[in-house]
Amino acid sequence: TREFEEEFARAIGAPHAVAVNSCTAALHLALDSLELKPGDEVITSTFTFAATGAAIVHAGGTPVLADCTGDTLNLDPRDVERRLTPRTRAIVPVHFAGHPAPMDEILQIAESRKLTVIEDAAHALPASYRGRRIGTLGRLTCFSFYATKNITTGEGGMITTRDPDLAATLRVRRLHGLSADAWKRYTAAGSWRYEILYPGFKYNTTDINAALGLVQLRRLHELRAARTAHASRYTELLRDVPGLVLPSVRTDVEHAWHLYVVRVDPQQFRIRRDQWIEELKAMGIGTSVHFIPLHLHPYYRDTFGLRPEDYPVASRAGEQVLSLPLFPGMEREDVEYVAEALRTIAMRSRR
C-alpha cells in the first residue's frame, strides 16, 4: 500500500497520497478533516453520484446543491457564487465524465472566501486542467479505483494533498484514529502499544488491492489512450446525427474519458431517452445514465425543499443523458456497431 501511494503521488505530481478503500471513504475522510459544525454548508454539483452528497451529510455538513454548465455538465461557478452564504465552508467540484471542472474560477471563489476545495475526481484519472494534473489543484482530491474506473483495484480510492500535516491526519483517521497502524505494531521493529487520537474509521485499503493498483497504474496512459481513441471514433461517427448532442471538450483541458455521454434531444425524436435505452438493449448494447441529479431524489428533494426549476440545466440533462459503452477492451468494430445502432434508432424515430 505504501508503494502504491508513493507511485500514485509521483504519477500525479502530488506531494502526498493516502490510500483508502473507496472514493466514498476518500470524500468522507476529506470532509471529516474540516471538522464541520452543525449548520456548516458545503456546495457541490447536483449532477453527481449519490456518494458526493452523502459524504457531506455524514461529515456533519449541509449539502448545498448548485447547477451545472450546459456544455460539460460540470459545476457552474456562477451558480456557486449565488449559493454562497456566511455558513459556507467548502466547495466540492465534480469532474464529470473525466472532463475537469472550471477550477480557476472555483479556486478564485474559494480563496476570496477562505473556503476549502475538495475535488471529486472519481472520473478524472488522468486528466489535466490548463496544463496542471487533477490531483494537484484543490487542497484535497479524491480518486476512485472501483471496478469500472480508468484504473481499478476492484474497490479502492486515494486522496492527494500538498499538506504534509493534513496527510498525516488522514492516515490516522483512516484506521480507527490509532497512533500506530498495523504495520508499525506488528513488525519486529514495532511496538504493540498505541493510543486512540481520534474516533476514526475503517477506511484503509489492503495490500492485495494495492498490488492490483500498482500494475494498473503502470498501464494508466495506455488505458487512457484506448479510451480516448474510442471516444474520438464515436465523435467521428456520430457528429452528423441531428438530435444527438455529443460531449463537449473545452480547449484548455485533457479529458480522462471515463464516460462518453450523449444527450438525446426530446424535441427531435418521437421517443424519449428511456426508450433509447430499451432499444439499444434489444440490440445487445448496454448503456447507463450518469446521473439522475441529486435534487430529483426523494432525500434531497424532501429534506431541503428542492425543485427541478431551481436547477434548469441539470434537470433538463437528467432526462436526456445516455452513457455509451466505453472501456479499453472495446474493439473498433464494437464502437462502430454502437454508433450504427444509434444512427438507426435516430432515423426511425425522428419527428
* 56-65 tens-digit pLDDT: 999 999 999 9
C-alpha cell at 144: 476512485
Tell which wins on pLDDT, 205 or 181: 205
Contacting residues for 52 by C-beta, under 8 A, at least 6 apart: 27, 44, 45, 92, 94, 120, 294
Global pTM reads 0.97
CA-wise closest residue to 97 among 205, 241, 253: 253
- Count how many residues are written for the chain: 351
pLDDT bin (cut points 50, 70, 90) of residue 180 is confident
Nearest 5 degrees, angle CA 74-CA 78-CA 83? 100
Residue whose entry in the numeric block shows the C-alpha cell 441531428: 242
What percent of the chain is predicted at pLDDT more than 90?
A: 95
Confidence of residue 46 (pLDDT cuts 50, 70, 90): very high
Return d(Cα 278, Cα 287) in angstroms, integer. 9
Q: Quick one: average pLDDT of 197-205?
A: 97
pLDDT of residue 189 exceeding 70, the answer is: no
Whether the pLDDT of residue 194 is over 70: the answer is yes
Residue 158 contacts residue 16 (beta carbons within 8 Å): no
Distance CA 89, CA 31 (A): 10
**Average pLDDT of the segment spanning 105-118:** 98
CB contact burial 118-142 (16+ within 10 A = b; e otherwise): bbbbbbbbbbbbeeebbbbbbbbbb
Residue 183 has pLDDT above 90, yes or no: no
Whether 283 has a pLDDT exceeding 90, the answer reads: yes
Q: What is the pLDDT of residue 182?
A: 58
Contact (Cβ atoms closer than 8 angstroms) between residue 134 and residue 24: no
Phi-psi region of 215 (alpha: psi -120 to 50; beta: other; left: phi over 0): alpha
Cα R_g (the chain), whole angstroms: 21
Is there a catalytic annotation at residue 281?
no
**pLDDT over threshold 80, residue 188:** no
Active site residue: 37, 114, 149, 281, which one?
149
pLDDT of residue 83: 98
Q: What are phi and psi of 204, to 5 degrees?
A: -70, 150
Kindly tell me if the per-residue pLDDT of 181 is higher than 90: no
- What's the CA gap between 99 and 225, in Å, rounded? 15
Cβ atoms of residues 156 and 145 within 8 Å: yes
Q: Chain centroid to CA 185: how far? A: 35
